[in-house]
A and B are shown apart, each in its own frame.
Chain A
Amino acid sequence: MEPKRLRYTKDHEWVGRDGDTYVVGITDYAQEQLGDVTYVELPEVGRRVAAEEETAVVESVKAASDVFAPVAGTVASVNEALETQPELVNQDPYGEGWFFKLRDVKAADVEGLMDATDYNAFLATLEE
């Protein structure tokens, strides 16, 4: 996925369209903050989630963080590769390190999130 074309949340999730579904992952900033990811707990396929619902968990040695659904939808698939290679989240957060895909998503909900420019501006406020 190309970071420029994704949408973002203040909790550092990204979401991007992939055909009929939307892919969700965590941002480069988030993986950097976490450090080496050691474990990812993924949701069950078919689970319906509301926007901002805790949907996955990502753990490093010194931190654990919930991954929230950026928008409402149904879990269409999960990235099973993370079960054995959680380091993909660090190595390729916008690609091989994706978390889950959602279907039944309203496009308008996605449009309502921050775009790359807004997100970068948001990150700049965190640096202070």
Chain B
Amino acid sequence: MSWVPHTDADRAAMLAVIGVDSTDALFEAIPPEARLQSWNVPPGLSEMRVRALLGELAARNDTGRVSFLGGGYYDHYIPAAVDALQGRSEFYTAYTPYQPECSQGTLQAIYEYQSVICRLTDMDFANASLYDGGTAVFEAATMAARVTGRRRVVCHPSLSPTWRAMLDTHTAHLDFEVIDGDDPAGAACVIAQNPSFLGDVVDFEPLAARCREAGALFVLSVYPVSLGLIKTPGEMGADIAVAEGQSLGLPLGFGGPYLGILATRKAHVRKMPGRIAGVTGDAQGRRGFVLTLQAREQHIRRAKATSNICTNQALCALRALIHLCLLGKEGLREVAVACHSKAEYLKSKLAFARVLNEHPTFNEFVVRLPRDAREVVARLRGVGYHAGLPLACVGRGEANDLLIAVTEKRTRAELDAFVAALEEVACS
């Protein structure tokens, strides 16, 4: 085998030091009757064959269409330097920074990530990352329960049905009452999303105020790119901001790895789940970074920890940080303006369909087509488009409703051609 370094001579020398005759002797602790005789795992392949095999599988996926898919996950441009820097193996082959002196790269990056998230959301503290947007919603709900001592979680209709379903799965055996609505009375929190799953942009400041009066926390799930333009969770009075961070430089990757963002106010930091990096110094006064507030975490608090999370999405957080640094203050705003403007342009051309959103939208909206949306997307796939998400497929809206997202990657020419194709298919 070429992938482990030992030669037979190495093994023999090592066995002699150990004082046994064969490597089999090292497995004597396993009950003999449980030792595996044979199994159905195919023989290994050469590196060339592995590439060919995976290449064939990749080729059976269709990523070549002009896409209007969104629903919380967006096809944004990722600057080349993001991949180049993330590809440094000192980052991606490191473990969790348990020994801070030899992990300052990772730790400072986490600190900088926490900083950009706070700046983006106008919150005081962000953790080092959670798994994804859906688990961030769940973690925010349990955090709100810890802060308030209450067990009712209210899901605003704006919340993604996907994340709503994940919340049900994760809380199924906790003594929680998870309901839909917007009444904060007696609730640990109300969880809303902006823009909503259907694309509406709303000022949630009044709801946040109602939550405060009722002693509930207000949790706001946001689309990070939209914060290039839209009023922030901090400005709206949210107690916890969460987000799916995929739009910050992570490839779509058929669902992951993504990035769960969670940020909060100073008052609640000790109830916050997940790792957090902080500044300190060494004996010579040099600035350094460590993981801090670890006493909240599972490796110390075990059954009483704020969360069970251990491995998180550190490399994804690093990507998000690099991405935001490359976009910069003006670049993020430009991307947000481009997404919004192109979506508005497309919207204005769809006279043959009815836009259902009652509020302004950012880069995503719902149209009611003259015919079944699933039929429409099936036919548009044949002419080069992934036309959007038929809402009925995620249990929302009616059969003719289509959720359409536009990012900065779409050109005016693509939008014009899409309008023509959509009209032809939907109205014929």
Contact = CB atoms under 8 A, between A and B. Distances in A.
B295 A63 contact: yes
Interface in A48-102: 59-64, 66
Contacts of A38: 295
Interface residues of A, number: 10
A64 B300 contact: yes
Contacts of A63: 295, 300
A60 B270 contact: no
A77 to B, nearest CB: 21
Nearest to B301: A64
Interface string B265-289: 0000010000000000000000000
B86 interface: no
B296 interface: yes
A115 interface: no
Contact of B296 (A60, A62, A64, A66): A64
Contact of B270 (A41, A61, A62, A66): A41
Interface residues of B, number: 7
Nearest to B300: A64
A66 B304 CA distance: 10
A39 B270 contact: yes
Contacts of B300: 62-64
A41 B300 CA distance: 17
Contacts of B294: 61-62
Contacts of A64: 295-296, 300-301, 304
A62 B300 CA distance: 7
Nearest to B290: A61
Nearest to A34: B295
Contacts of B295: 38-39, 59-64
A41 B270 CA distance: 10
> Quick one: which of A59, A62, A64 has the most chain B CB within 10 A?
A64
Contacts of B301: 64
A125 B101 CA distance: 38
A127 B300 CA distance: 22
> Quick one: which of B294, B295, B296, B304 has the most chain A CB within 10 A?
B295
A39 B296 CA distance: 11
A62 to B, nearest CB: 7
A38 B384 CA distance: 60
Nearest to A58: B295
Nearest to B302: A64
Contacts of A59: 295
A64 B295 CA distance: 5
A39 B295 CA distance: 10
B301 to A, nearest CB: 5
A38 to B, nearest CB: 8
Contacts of B304: 64, 66
A115 to B, nearest CB: 31
A116 to B, nearest CB: 30
Contacts of A62: 294-295, 300
A63 B295 CA distance: 6
A92 B296 CA distance: 25
Contacts of A39: 270, 295
A53 B172 CA distance: 27
A61 B295 CA distance: 7
Interface of A: 38-39, 41, 59-64, 66
Given A38-B295, A39-B270, 17 more contacts: A39-B295, A41-B270, A59-B295, A60-B295, A61-B294, A61-B295, A62-B294, A62-B295, A62-B300, A63-B295, A63-B300, A64-B295, A64-B296, A64-B300, A64-B301, A64-B304, A66-B304
8 contacts: A39-B270, A39-B295, A61-B294, A63-B295, A64-B295, A64-B296, A64-B300, A66-B304
Nearest 3 Cβ contacts at the A-B interface? A64-B295, A59-B295, A64-B301
